[in-house]
Amino acid sequence: MTAPAQGEEPEKPQQDSSEEVPRTVSGRERRIALRVNWRTKFAEHTFKYAMLACSLAVLAVMVLIFVQLVLHSKLSLQQFGFKFFTGSTWDPVSGDFGAWPFIFGTLLSSLVALVIAVPLAVGVAVFVTEMCPRPLRGFISFMVELLAAIPSVIYGLWAIFILAPLLRQYVEPWLGKYFGWTGLFTGPAYGIGMLAAGVILAIMIIPIISSITREVMQVVPQQQREGVLALGATRWEMIRMGVLRNARAGIFGAVILGLGRAIGETMAVTMVIGNRPAVAKSLFAPGYTMASVIANEFSEATDDLYLSALVEIGLALLIVTVIVNACARLLVWSITRGTPSRSYV
């Protein structure tokens, strides 16, 4: 601590602010003091504004994305209006574009993903924070975080060659036999289809849901747990009444964040959903999502209207994910009091 002080020694008397330079110093010393002070202030302001500029970049990126997407989808916005989102023909040759099959595919695959992921993710979070022996705690949370580090394209690769055949051979025939009456599991089992997309999405969004759930559960005061336990509750009753009840807004936020991820997920879904713009009730049938139609057709789109229709789908994706994420962040922030999220998965 003394070393830097020594280095600064010669400047020390001049560090006082200009207004307070004592009258007793000579004119020359006073001029030096003022000059150094001006220089310090200049550096101070330069640094502050440079950092401010960096923070402006965050806002600029957001605005630029939005403006560019609106500009480049103008053609399609004018041509189709709101009908774009309800029409179900997608015919690049005759220039007729309706995005409903893609919206349907995005909604259905995300819904399937949530149904599978939410109980599992909350289960992991409960197990890690409240139940599991201490030495295992770090290991399991590291493993779950590792799941988040796997790139989407590798999930897709695995899903094509391992998950889809597994679904085709074992899971889908079984589901068809026992739950075919629901209408959700009918038709030929291709393996590739809505169900495969939902399962792979579920695996991908579990880490974010579970790590944020864990975060909000940790914020629940220890006294809550002790209080419920002191009333004679079992551990599960303590978790249900003392922890989950208090953290439910945050958990809901975590689920919505997971939904946001599922909606925007592109590569893995594109690789296993089958890419057919059809609206089918059965989860075995192939489908198409908003993100995957952009991924597949964007670089092939030749005429302007086709391209702007794809950009409009992107714009819809942007608006939906911004709204979903904003809601989720507000919910999570209300629990964790605005501290930045630890989990950037």
Tokens coding 79: 């041509």
Query: Is 198:283 a contact under the CB 8 Å cutoff?
Result: yes
Neighbours of 79 (CB within 10 A): 16
| Residue among 57 and 115 whose Cβ is closer to other proteins | 57
Give the shortest CB-156-to-other proteins separation in angstroms.
7
What is the total count of residues that contact other proteins (CB under 8 A)?
A: 102
Which residue type, as a one-letter code, is found at position 118? V
15 binds other proteins (CB under 8 A): yes
Which one, of 156, 150, 105, 102, lies nearest residue 271 by Cα? Answer: 156
Crossing angle of the two packed helices 134-149 and 194-219, in degrees rounded to 10: 140
76 binds other proteins (CB under 8 A): no
| Residue among 15 and 169 whose Cβ is closer to other proteins | 15
Site string for other proteins, 239-278 (x = CB under 8 A): x-----------------x--xx-xxxxx---x-------
| Residue among 120 and 187 whose Cβ is closer to other proteins | 120
212 binds other proteins (CB under 8 A): no
Query: 141 burial class (0-12, 13-18, 19+ CB within 10 angstroms)?
Result: buried
Give the shortest CB-181-to-other proteins separation in angstroms.
26
34 binds other proteins (CB under 8 A): no
Give the shortest CB-183-to-other proteins separation in angstroms.
27
- For residues 110 and 168, give the distance between their C-alpha atoms in angstroms, rounded to a whole number: 21
| Residue among 129 and 186 whose Cβ is closer to other proteins | 129
Site string for other proteins, 52-71 (x = CB under 8 A): xxxx-xxx-xx-xx--xx-x
- For residues 303 and 106, give the distance between their C-alpha atoms in angstroms, rounded to a whole number: 25
Q: Is 328 helix (H, G, I), strand (E, B) or coil?
A: helix
Neighbours of 235 (CB within 10 A): 13
Give the shortest CB-135-to-other proteins separation in angstroms.
14
Query: 234 burial class (0-12, 13-18, 19+ CB within 10 angstroms)?
Result: exposed
CA 245 to chain CA centroid, nearest Å: 24
Choosing from 75, 203, 220, 247, the residue that interacts with other proteins (CB under 8 A) is 203
Cβ contacts of 217-221, under 8 Å, gap ≥ 24: 217/125, 217/126, 217/129, 217/130, 217/243, 217/244, 217/247, 217/250, 218/129, 219/247, 219/250, 219/335, 219/336, 220/246, 220/247
Give the shortest CB-244-to-other proteins separation in angstroms.
11
Choosing from 30, 32, 72, 279, the residue that interacts with other proteins (CB under 8 A) is 72
Choosing from 174, 178, 179, 236, the residue that interacts with other proteins (CB under 8 A) is 236
Give the shortest CB-28-to-other proteins separation in angstroms.
21
Which one, of 117, 155, 130, 125, lies nearest residue 141 by Cα? Answer: 125
| Residue among 58 and 93 whose Cβ is closer to other proteins | 58
**Near other proteins in 153-172, by CB under 8 A:** 153-158, 160-162
Give the shortest CB-50-to-other proteins separation in angstroms.
7
**Near other proteins in 286-325, by CB under 8 A:** 291, 294-295, 298-299, 310-311, 314, 317-318, 321-322, 324-325
Site string for other proteins, 115-154 (x = CB under 8 A): ----xxxxxx-xxx--xx-------x-xxxxxx-xxxxxx
40 binds other proteins (CB under 8 A): yes
